[in-house]
């Protein structure tokens, strides 16, 4: 079974600074997908960014980018120019990629990010 | 476009009562997922459907929990009888076809069993 580990329960960043959230995972599969979701106090689950394991290029979405290290099974999220609205809980998630029906997301425990004005 | 719609947004009931949570997936999506979020266990999958057929229900805690998807636009998660330890936020999510398509989440139902 796959596992996702987010070892840092909390992090804090100064507004306009850069912060990196860590995530590691364990799998024996070679084909899979990784996601970062954001959950603000409103409790919505909002997709931030996704990465296909077969792609070597790191995904980027505006101020959000990932550092995907497949051999190390590491998938960190970098937030540049942090804004107050980035304060939320962030979840790393894994999904199997082999052929077949859509499969479940396995989530890490999450990390609470606070942004200092 | 309307997102995933869940109802009710909040539910408070006494233990022993039947609870029904409802979900309308995004139109055109063919996979539907029910997740539960608690402080202790985080986010965990309860069950998911593909083309209205349950594919994996290994996360359903016990026989008190049941889920149905009678058609492509509606699903229910039922707890009978409810217990205080069922208190959690329950999310429904849907996605379409391809494996790299993300799951879109509803706003969740906060369930409190007294």
3-class SS letters over chain B: CCCCEEECCEEEECCCCCEEEEEECCCCCCEEEEEEEECCCEEEEEEEEECCEEEECCCCCCCCEEEEEEECCEEEEEECCCCHHHCEEEEEEEECCCCCCCCEECCCEEEEEC
CB contact under 8 A, B103 and A91: no
Residue A97's pLDDT is 74
- B31, B90, B100, B104, best to mutate vs chain A, most A CBs in 10 Å: B100
- CA-based nearest residue in chain A for residue B9: A43
Q: Determine which of A27-36, A61-70, B92-101 has the lowest per-residue pLDDT on average.
A: B92-101
CB contact under 8 A, A102 and B91: no
Q: DSSP label at A57?
A: S
pLDDT averaged over chain A?
92
Contacts of A37 in chain B (CB under 8 A): 105
Distances (CA, A) of A36 to A48, A81, B28, B53: 5, 18, 24, 27
- CA-based nearest residue in chain A for residue B100: A33
Residue B98's pLDDT is 63
CB contact under 8 A, B31 and A33: no
Contacts of B101 in chain A (CB under 8 A): 102
- A33, A34, A102, best to mutate vs chain B, most B CBs in 10 Å: A102
R_g of chain B, CA atoms, integer Å: 13
Contact between B94 and B31 under an 8 Å Cβ cutoff? The reply is yes
Residue A98's pLDDT is 63
Residue B62's pLDDT is 83
Contacts of B105 in chain A (CB under 8 A): 37, 44-46
- CA-based nearest residue in chain A for residue B5: A44
Tokens of B70: 């009678």
Contact between A54 and A66 under an 8 Å Cβ cutoff? The reply is no
Q: What percent of chain A has pLDDT over 90?
A: 75
Residue B6's pLDDT is 97
Residue B1's pLDDT is 63
Residue A86, SS3 per DSSP? helix
CA distance linking residue B74 with residue B114, whole number of Å: 28
- What dihedral angle (degrees, nearest 10) is formed by the CA atoms of A76, A97, B33, B57? -120
Q: Determine which of A22-36, A38-52, A98-112 has the lowest per-residue pLDDT on average.
A: A98-112
CB contact under 8 A, A45 and B100: no
CB contact under 8 A, B44 and A107: yes
Write the residue in A104, A109, A110 that is nearest to B48 by C-beta. Answer: A104
Single out the residue of B34, B92, B41, B39 nearest to residue B58, CA to CA: B34
Per run of 10 residues, the mean pLDDT along chain B (length 114 residues) is 91 96 95 94 92 90 93 96 96 82 92 96
| Res. A28 pLDDT band, cuts 50 70 90 | confident
Name beta bridge partners: A65.
A60, A78
Name beta bridge partners: A6.
none
pLDDT of A58 above 60: yes
State the residue for tokens 């077949």: A100
Measured between CA atoms, how close is B11 to chain A, in angstroms?
Answer: 15
């Amino acid at each position: 079974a796959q596992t996702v580990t987010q070892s840092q329960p909390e992090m804090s960043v100064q507004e306009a600074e850069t912060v990196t959230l860590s995530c590691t995972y364990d799998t024996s599969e070679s084909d899979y997908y990784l996601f970062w979701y954001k959950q603000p106090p409103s409790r919505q689950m909002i997709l931030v960014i996704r990465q296909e394991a077969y792609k070597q290029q790191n995904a980027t979405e505006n101020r959000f980018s990932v550092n995907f290290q497949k051999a190390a099974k590491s998938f960190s999220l970098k937030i540049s120019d942090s804004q107050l609205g980035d304060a939320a809980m962030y979840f790393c998630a894994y999904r199997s990629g082999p052929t077949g029906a859509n499969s479940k997301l396995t989530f890490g425990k999450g990390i609470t990010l606070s942004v200092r004005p | 476009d309307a997102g995933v719609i869940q109802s009710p947004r909040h539910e408070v009931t006494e233990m022993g009562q039947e609870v029904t949570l409802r979900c309308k997936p995004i139109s055109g999506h063919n996979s539907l997922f029910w997740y539960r979020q608690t402080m202790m266990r985080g986010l965990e999958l309860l069950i998911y459907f593909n083309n209205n057929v349950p594919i994996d229900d290994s996360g359903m805690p016990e026989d008190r929990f049941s889920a149905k998807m009678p058609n492509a636009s509606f699903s229910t998660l039922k707890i009978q009888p409810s217990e205080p330890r069922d208190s959690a936020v329950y999310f429904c999510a849907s996605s379409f076809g391809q494996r790299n398509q993300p799951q879109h989440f509803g706003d969740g139902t906060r369930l409190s069993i007294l």
